[in-house]
Amino acid sequence: MIFDLTTAQLGGFLLAALLITLAPGPDNLGVLSLGVSRGRRAGIGFGLGCALGCFTHTLWATLGISAILAASATAFTLLKLAGAAYLCWLGWQALKSSGAKFQPAAERVADTTAFTVYLRRGFIANAINPKVALFFLAFLPQFVAADSAHAIGQSAVLGLVFALQTTLVFGLLGYFAGMIGGWLQRRVSFGRRLDQATGVLFIGLGLRLAAESR
């Protein structure tokens, strides 16, 4: 096995990771709301961005940077407020939107720009969330053999596994949320209402993050 990871370690970690990824949280709620309100590309892009953010937190946990956040109240608070402000900004952008307009499949064109925009937004929202950084710091060591000479390598591999399963789960959530959104947007003015709901959700998530403690 890679870095002496056993099948039991990987299996137990993957099951726990799937349950955590499926549990309601800022990332999957954002994927669902954007998929419904802005379409598949937005939902999938935001989800993949969040998954890429997991790579960042894996690196932080492996290098010990997450431990600094755990030890420093100032560092944690600054990053928390930055993350909260960014979520509120995303919410404000959604509230200002006039709503996505439904287009029949025959009239749609590939729009890589929209995908890239939401990919970037998902990455930033996840990467600057200190709660996620502390989660990785606490979660990964539970599946790593502390006395192993490959403890750092094991942490890196498990972080990669977590990010990959997140990519799959969030990609599927964004895809099916986009299908539902396309159906809803056929209804007059529903696109605007969906964006308003998304805006309220992101602002609520931002305020909750700002109010949380370590």
Mean pLDDT calculated for residue range 196-209: 79
Q: Whole-model pTM?
A: 0.72
DSSP 3-state helix, strand, coil percentages of the chain (rounded to 5)? Answer: 80, 0, 20
Q: Nearest-CA neighbor of 144 among 55, 58, 69, 66? A: 58
Euclidean distance between CA atoms 78 and 69, whole angstroms: 10
To the nearest 10 degrees (0 to 180), the angle between helices 130-139 and 40-63 is: 60
Domain boundaries, the chain: 28-98+111-211
pLDDT in tens, 90-127: 788 778 776 544 444 433 444 567 788 999 999 998 88
Residue 156 near residue 141 (C-beta atoms within 8 A): no
pLDDT in tens, 32-80: 888 888 888 888 999 999 999 988 888 887 776 666 666 677 777 877 7
To the nearest 10 degrees (0 to 180), the angle between helices 112-127 and 40-63 is: 30
Percentage of the residues of the chain whose pLDDT score is greater than 90: 11
Q: Nearest-CA neighbor of 144 among 169, 120, 161, 125? A: 161
